Structure 1
Amino acid sequence: MSNIHQIIEERAHLMGNFRVGRLLPFKDKRMVGPFAFLDHMGPVKLAQYENFDVPPHPHIGLSTLTYLFEGSIMHRDSLGNEIEIKPGAVNWMTAGRGITHSERTPDYLRTSEISLHGLQIWVALPKDLEQIEPSFFHIDARQIPEWKMGDVNVKLIAGELFNKKSGVPVHSPLYLLELKSATKQTIRLGQELFGENALYILEGSITSEGITYESKHILIPKDPKLCAFEMNENTTVYIFGGEPFPEERTIYWNFVSSDKSLIEDAKIRWNNQEFGKVPGETEFVPLPEPTNFKLKK
């Protein structure tokens, strides 16, 4: 009997002027541990007259994790942070009670042809931390734990695993692991994993119990402790998960909370432009019309 319980395929979604592949949330799987949202951006080439532009928009109740493979994004937020995200680095922004940020092609690249490819992830906050003050943390690529597992290159982007700890200041027990191999390799991780987890195939393919699964899919196991598979040549996968929360989370637009009243309050505050402003920016993304955006449970 197969240990694969669920397969989720990327679905095209428009984010500003940029198309992404959405993986989470999915209608039959809203979260994996504390992970509430996963977008695969690109890979795409932007011409000299094109740019990646997501104007100021709000978040509550979550931390965002941005991780690039190619390209560059300028992050600006209402705390006054302004930093360029480059491949291999991690931007970790904790919204708490509310933060505003924008994501754009850096000024010095806006008239150049560029490539953009990466992941954008939301991690829900524990109930008792949903209203903490917002914060921001950046970690360079060289600060991420990296080691070899046979011929497989492994990175611990966030969380704790294998007696190693990423410098990203997470708020609950979780892990985000990158495995990359140029050759066929057998992987057995089950006894190291905890909580709920999932495997995302970025490129290449894996084989599990005689079945081959291609890129741009998430695989959800029935039993995380039975996580064993074969990475085929030139394959990159991400294994992510952690301890699930006892309470359900509601996701509405960019807001995540265990308390729907906090989402209603955030909607009012954003409509009234009571969130913090991003210095130097006057644009903002309006709250979606109720007829065009459904409350997700």
Structure 2
Amino acid sequence: MKNRTVARLLYAEEVEMNGEPVRQPFPTEQVDQIDPFLMLHHHTTTISPDIEPRRAGIGPHPHRGFSPVTFVYKGGVHHRDSRGNNSIVYEGGTQWMDAGMGITHSERPPHDIQERGGVQEIIQIWVNLPAKHKMIQPRYQPLHASETPVVTGDGYTIQVITGELGNVKGPVKSLVPLLVLRLTLQAGATCHIPVPETYNAVFYLLDGQISLQGYGLIDGHYAVELNSDGEGCTITAKEATRILFLAGQPIEEEVTMYGPFVMNTQIEVMQAMRDYQQGKMGILIED
């Protein structure tokens, strides 16, 4: 089985988002997207019980035209939205939302974590939607750790979020053909990840160090974009590591982004701004 070669390494520089440092391997000046993946943010923070709950996390804000997805690595995330969804997902879980025609949501620490304090570590990605799905009715899919199928091997575990790994299928129904995996490897463990030949692929190391077969050593806080010239990749952990693996069928459409709106044209973005201002993406009043 031929392994894919490396297109480029992308270091996750720290940028400021809402007054907090966030690691962002892409987009950068080097790469605007890895179609269909638009963005990856890795954020770790300490939740203080001294902060008012209404000031913690991210308050109500809109989205249209893509799927914001949050992976919880430590702590938890309380999702509320203008469609009435209200769900808490803890460590090992995933919050998956297809914004479609427009929705307003918030992502805050759960009350139990807020009351006692603690560390919250999350990754959020934005997955583009093709033009034919940008104005669908929004939908929300919470996935708890206990509901997530796991593939295990010698020294590694792989959570399958969406797509198929061997005969294990992820529960999330994505609107774009995807393979999304969460890997945990002990030092010395080796695993092979097969990738459909038409998919773009990128993976991000939250920490540790790996050796990628055919390439060499890669440290934590790097994303690795792979070329579409093989059937997968083989990873050996030199140190214990956690990896988010993303692969998907490219959409190959024009992308116009402005803040929380991802459309195909500038006119569509302007319409999204007007619709939000007119309340057409709903109103979220948090309890």
| TM-score, structure 2 normalization | 0.89
Q: CA deviation at 1:23?
A: 2.4
Structure 1 residue 279 corresponds to structure 2 residue 285: yes
CA distance in 2, matches of 1:250, 1:25: 14
1:187 match: 191
1:227 aligned residue (214, 227, 233): 233
How far apart, in 1, do the equivalents of 2:236 and 2:258 lie?
37
SS at match of 2:91: coil
The equivalences for 1:112-261 within 5 A come to 112-190=116-194, 194-208=198-212, 209=214, 211-222=216-227, 223-225=229-231, 227-261=233-267
Correspondence 1:72 to 2:76? yes
Q: In structure 2, what residue type is equivalent to 1:21?
A: R
**1:10 and 2:12 matched:** yes
Deviation per residue, 1:38-95 (Å, 9 max, x gap)? 11011x3233223633121110011121111111222110001111121112211111
Q: Is the 8 A contact 2:162 2:180 kept in 1?
A: yes
CA contact (8 A) 2:80 2:286 kept: no
Give the SS at the match of 1:189.
strand
Alpha-carbon deviation of 1:152? 1.6
- Residue 295 (structure 1) aligns with: none
Distance 1:70 1:194 in 2: 33
Alpha-carbon deviation of 1:273?
A: 4.0
Q: What is the total number of aligned residue pairs between the two structures?
A: 279
Task: Give the structure 2 partner of residue 290 of structure 1.
Answer: none
Which deviates the most, 77-86 or 191-200? 191-200
Q: Look up the equivalent residue of 1:247 and give its one-letter code.
A: E
Runs of 4+ in 1 over 3 A off after TM superposition: 107-111, 190-194, 271-274
- Partner AA of 1:267 in structure 2: M
Q: Could you tell me how far apart the structure 2 residues matched to 1:7 and 1:277 are?
A: 40
Aligned partners of 2:198 and 2:236: how far apart in 1? 20
Query: Aligned-pair distance for 1:186?
Result: 3.0
Q: Is the 8 A contact 2:35 2:252 kept in 1?
A: no
Q: Report the AA paired with residue 91 of structure 1.
A: Q
* 2:64 alignment counterpart: 60
Give the corresponding residue for 2:95.
91
Counterpart for residue 45 of structure 1: 46
- Unmatched tracts of structure 2, length 5 or more: none
Partners of 1:91 and 1:191 in 2: how far apart? 24
Amino acid at match of 2:216: I
Once the two structures are superposed, what CA deviation does each residue of 1:213-270 show, in whole Å capped at 9, x if it has no partner? 1101101122353523322231122221111012122222111122332211111223
For residue 25 of structure 2, what is the aligned residue in structure 1? 23
Q: How far apart, in 2, do the equivalents of 1:61 and 1:271 lie?
A: 16
Change in 2 beyond 3 A, CA 1:18/1:143: same
How many angstroms apart in 2 are the aligned matches of 1:235 and 1:76? Answer: 31
Q: What is the rounded CA distance, in whole Å, between the counterparts of 1:30 and 1:161 in structure 2?
A: 28
Consecutive unaligned residues in structure 1, runs of 5 or more: 282-297
With over 3 angstroms needed to count, the CA separation of the structure-2 counterparts of 1:149 and 1:193, relative to structure 1, is farther
Aligned pair in 2 of structure 1 residues 46, 126: CA closer, same or farther (>3 Å)? Answer: same
Distance 1:203 1:142 in 2: 24
- Given residue 7 of structure 1, which amino acid in structure 2 is its aligned partner? L
Matched position secondary structure for 2:92: coil
Cα displacement (A) at 1:191: 5.8
- Residues in 2 aligned to 1:259 and 1:130: alpha-carbon distance in whole angstroms: 12
